[in-house]
Amino acid sequence: MSNWKLICKLDDIPQLGSRVVQRQSGGDIAIFRNAEDEVFALHDKCPHKAGPLSQGIVHGRKVTCPLHGWNIGLEDGHAVAPDVGSCGKFEVKVEAGDVYLLA
């Protein structure tokens, strides 16, 4: 059963940056924070060739993969056209400066 888990403080994630959450199974999750302090979570695996999205550059509501520069939408995990593909997304919320992940 998945439930909300406390991950870290919002300030533990740099603005326009990310942190990696390692799970015991199912692969890493990347948690992003943008300039407006919105927080998003995606599977840390680019739909192109599995690049670690957590290491990319965050801008607006997108992250650019560090390996070959695909842009992935943070809200839905879909690659921005003309590229096609998507990666799994996870529910996250921020309450009182704490970040929770539904996993």
Binding-site ranges for ligand FES (CB under 6 A): 46, 48-51, 65, 67-70
The verdict on 72 binding other proteins (CB under 8 A) reads no
- Report how far residue 62's alpha carbon sits from residue 23's, in angstroms, rounded to the nearest whole number: 23
DSSP three-state, residue 13:
coil
DSSP three-state, residue 58:
strand
The verdict on 103 binding other proteins (CB under 8 A) reads yes
Rounded to the nearest angstrom, the gap between the alpha carbon of residue 56 and the centroid of all alpha carbons in its chain is 10
Question: Scanning residues 10 to 69, which ones bind other proteins (CB under 8 A)?
Answer: 12, 14-17, 19-24, 28-29, 31, 34-36, 49-52, 55-60, 62, 64, 66-69
Cα dist from 4 to 70, 89, 102, whole Å:
30, 15, 4
Chain residues binding other proteins by CB under 8 A are: 5, 7-8, 12, 14-17, 19-24, 28-29, 31, 34-36, 49-52, 55-60, 62, 64, 66-69, 71, 82-83, 101, 103
